[in-house]
Amino acid sequence: MAWANVSNISTANVDSATDNPANARTDIYNAFVELTAVINGRGTVNGVASLDSTTKVPAAQLPATFISTSGDITLQPNSARVSFEDIINLEPIDHSSLPASPSKGDIAFLTTDSLSALKNKPVYYNGTAWYYFDDTTVD
């Protein structure tokens, strides 16, 4: 069932005390059909996510991949900490693919360094330069 559509609801025959109740019947019925779509659309495709007993969206209703069509994805928990229970996988990239304007704290897994030598090491940006995690060598 598709999610409700406001264009299917009309108040033309129910918005005045002088409206004819017989004419209002169709408008009221159509509004109930849309309300039913909202109720039945919980936890369904093209509907709305439900919440479990702990007020969280169940994992089965979350996508396996988040893709932003408007830029970065930001996680900003109230605790100021993002925790991962398992492994974080950084897509390996070549030095030439590092961002032109990195931000302090950016992390990447380099396949090559600025000299195109194979490195296969994680690096971080300290606000001035990219550094390898295992030493203080500037890339």
Q: What letter represents residue 29's amino acid?
A: Y
pLDDT of 16 higher than 80: yes
Residue 135 is predicted with a pLDDT of 64
Residue 8 is predicted with a pLDDT of 87
- pLDDT, tens digit, for every residue of 21-31? 999 999 999 99
- pLDDT, tens digit, for every residue of 76-127? 899 989 888 899 999 999 999 999 999 999 999 999 988 878 888 899 999 9
Residue 139 is predicted with a pLDDT of 63
